[in-house]
Amino acid sequence: MSPLASFDAPALIATKRDGHRLPDAGIDWLIEGYTTGLVAEEQMSALLMAIYLRGMDTAETVRWTAAMIASGERMDFTDLRRGGKPLKTVDKHSTGGVGDKITLPLVAVVAACGAAVPSASGRGLGHTGGTLDKLEAIAGFDVALSTARLREQLAGVGAAIFAAGALAPADAKLYALRDVTATVESLPLIASSVMSKKLAEGTDALVLDVKVGSGAFMKERDDARELAQAMVGLGAAHGVATRALLTDMSMPLGCTVGNAIEVAEALEVLAGGGPADVVELTVRLASEMLELATIDGADPAQTLSDGSAMDRFTAMVAAQGGDLGVPLPVGKCCETVTADRGGFMGHIDAMAVALAAWRLGAGRSRPGERVQHGAGMRIHRRPGEPVAAGETLFTLYTDTPERLGPACAELNGGYCVGDTPPLPRPLIIEATA
């Protein structure tokens, strides 16, 4: 880092503390210095708090993101071919939700339509689920792919879901620090964190699923829209065609929340069934991805009914060492929650369900903790469906019996049964170009 060594951390912290713009070269120096250990944890903590309080303008955020990408490998798939023809690459990113298993059917649908999807994914932390934790519920599934294996799999199967690993390593360090310094909820820091990892994937196009509601990171639509616009702008600034959808996360997606139980639901969708909301979002996101990747004439919904998406999914699982012939794990202990009156199922709060699933052992409270692959819950009645008194509304699964009580307590008050069905909420709220 010698050409940049003229900066000093306290001066840069003071620049941001006093509400000024960080110089471009100073941003490069800070990110590289923090990744390599030259900039100390306490210095970066102070800077993050200054950014949290003062913000960063668009140009600063673009530079900050570029520096994060430069902290690791940026993949390049421009020479990817199948049958001698170039392959378009495209991915989607969700800002995180409850019951959000969409990546599983989605990558297979888009691959069946002729694009290649290199999907670097993460693990759950706190109340949100992680795609890697879900996939590891499949016996033998390996999320660590070398670049050579990834390229081979994309050229053959067309889809891979793998751990971000060497992509934007600055983000892994910064995210962990933000988590313990109350600096997570900063728009430029969230936007640069998400986009550094996704832009490092090197895809031609990217679709963002920005969640809004109680189970999302952004509770309000205006905040979600602002985040979506910032991320779309970062994509454009780095030459990647990017668009965003704002989608509802006030209720869980589908009828399952957990790890293995969500894989089972994704398999139902791939077999042409599954809950309507999971199918709707999968098909809509696939259409957006294919349009952005300029792949014409494909019919995402048909790949679910004709089995071609299922073929891609099973091929992807096999390529990554997974064995779908081994039954998915189910928690050894279960508890049901029943309706104490008849009527119609009302709203089901995504955060209450997420916390219940987390208490059951489906999520972790500290990075590195083991999750229970069989833990989670099934939602038997969706909002608006008729309910009879005494009927089972939820089934909770865990390997640890003492987790059942706290999980039921989290769920208590997170749903209601009423005399009339609630007004339906649109799943797809708006598209942000």
Binding region for ligand URA (CB under 6 A): 95-96, 175, 184, 190, 193-194, 217
- Rounded to a whole number of angstroms, the minimum distance from the CB of residue 23 to ligand URA is 24
Given the complex with ligand URA, which of 77 and 175 has the nearer CB atom?
175
How far is residue 293 from each of residues 125, 164, 204, 279, 381, measured CA to CA in Å? 31, 22, 7, 21, 37
Given the complex with ligand URA, which of 119 and 398 has the nearer CB atom?
119
**3-class DSSP state for residue 431?**
strand
Given the complex with ligand URA, which of 95 and 287 has the nearer CB atom?
95
The two tokens of residue 401 are 């019996």
- Rounded to a whole number of angstroms, the minimum distance from the CB of residue 217 to ligand URA is 6
Q: From 188, 243, 245, 187, select the one nearest 218 (Cα to Cα).
A: 187
Query: Residue 12 belongs to what H/E stretch?
Result: helix 9-17
Q: How many H-runs (helices) and E-runs (strands) does the chain carry?
A: 16, 15
* HSE-up (13 A, CA, CB side) for residue 269: 32
Given the complex with ligand URA, which of 203 and 372 has the nearer CB atom?
203
Dihedral over alpha carbons 56, 57, 61, 63 (to 10 degrees)? -110
- CA–CA separation, 32 vs 48, rounded Å? 15
- Rounded to a whole number of angstroms, the minimum distance from the CB of residue 190 to ligand URA is 4
Rg (CA), the chain: 22
Enumerate the active-site residues.
93, 171, 178, 193, 197
- Rounded to a whole number of angstroms, the minimum distance from the CB of residue 108 to ligand URA is 23
Whether 256 contacts 105, CB under 8 Å: no
Given the complex with ligand URA, which of 233 and 343 has the nearer CB atom?
233
Report which residue's Cβ sits closest to ligand URA: 193
- Rounded to a whole number of angstroms, the minimum distance from the CB of residue 413 to ligand URA is 27
- CA–CA separation, 77 vs 70, rounded Å? 17
Given the complex with ligand URA, which of 96 and 361 has the nearer CB atom?
96
Pairing type for strands 392-398 and 428-432 reads: unpaired
| Residue 158, beta-bridge partner list | none
- Rounded to a whole number of angstroms, the minimum distance from the CB of residue 97 to ligand URA is 11
